[in-house]
A and B are shown apart, each in its own frame.
Chain A
Amino acid sequence: MVPLADYLVLSAVVFALGLYAVVTRRNGVAILMGIELMLNAANINLVAFNKYAAPGAVQGQIFALIVITLAACEAAVGLALVLAAYRSLETIHVDEINVMRW
């Protein structure tokens, strides 16, 4: 059986990739893609712990399902915001959206 640590290492690397995307990309949609990667990494962790450390119930999978649902909600609202920002400010690069900065 693949040891639990392998799954956790994979999840850590995917999380780091997502974090890199969120911190360094200029495009709003690319930032959202990074957030999705981070949420997926957390899900891998949850499901892996469910199988290896607490297999009596499906609590980890329930949590992962709820995270997937909330990720879908947040992607929908986030992308609606990007669309609305594009309509009024003509840009989706987040460093150019500085209209309210003093």
Chain B
Amino acid sequence: MTGEAIAFYALAAVILVSGLVVVSSPNIVHSAVALVPAFLGITGIYILLGAEFVAGIQVLIYAGAITVLLLFVIMLTEGGTGLRLQQRNEQGPVGASVAVAIAVLLIAGVTHTTWGRGAGTLPAYTPGAIGQSFLGTNLLAFEGTSIVLLVSLIGAVIIARKEE
């Protein structure tokens, strides 16, 4: 067992266990807090795949900002006090079977395909390569994403504002 394989299986275990807590815990605050180990596990997967800039951004944005946002909204609404209520609707078995079916389909598909290998190697200093790419080939996507960010920032502020 190489070190990479051990790291991968350990991280996969962390992600799957926290993912299970996220989707099936009756306490919504526990669900939100369990997202943090899931995101950190995914960060580890990115580092294994040589994408360290994406890993840093994942921690910064997902574990540091989106989780905080989720916890804020849970605390500002009735989330934490709704423990006595039912957290699952009546589509439980249907949802579970659909999810399992999709997982089985995807897994069968990916394990029976031989994936080709492209040419080249990943650059060692990915922030530089990503920066060059964003201002070179992917400039349109970069600018478009900036505009979407601006629009969603303004939209979120307006929607969440109290009616004065």
Contacts and interface: CB of A to CB of B under 8 A. Distances in A.
Direct A–B touching in the complex (beta carbon < 8 Å)?
yes
Nearest to A71: B66
Contacts of A56: 118-121
A73 B149 CA distance: 6
B94 to A, nearest CB: 7
Interface residues of B, number: 89
Contacts of A47: 45-46, 49, 51, 54
Interface string A35-68: 0110010011001101111111111011011101
Given A68-B58, A95-B89, 20 more contacts: A8-B110, A9-B111, A16-B102, A17-B19, A18-B19, A18-B23, A19-B99, A20-B95, A23-B95, A30-B31, A40-B42, A52-B117, A53-B115, A55-B119, A62-B141, A68-B54, A70-B148, A71-B62, A82-B73, A83-B77
Interface of B: 2, 4-5, 8, 12, 15-16, 19-20, 22-23, 28, 31-32, 35, 38-39, 42, 45-46, 48-51, 53-54, 57-58, 61-62, 65-66, 69-70, 72-74, 76-79, 82, 85-89, 91-92, 94-96, 98-100, 102-103, 106-107, 110-111, 115-123, 126, 129-130, 133-134, 138, 141, 145, 148-149, 152-153, 155-157, 159-160, 162-163
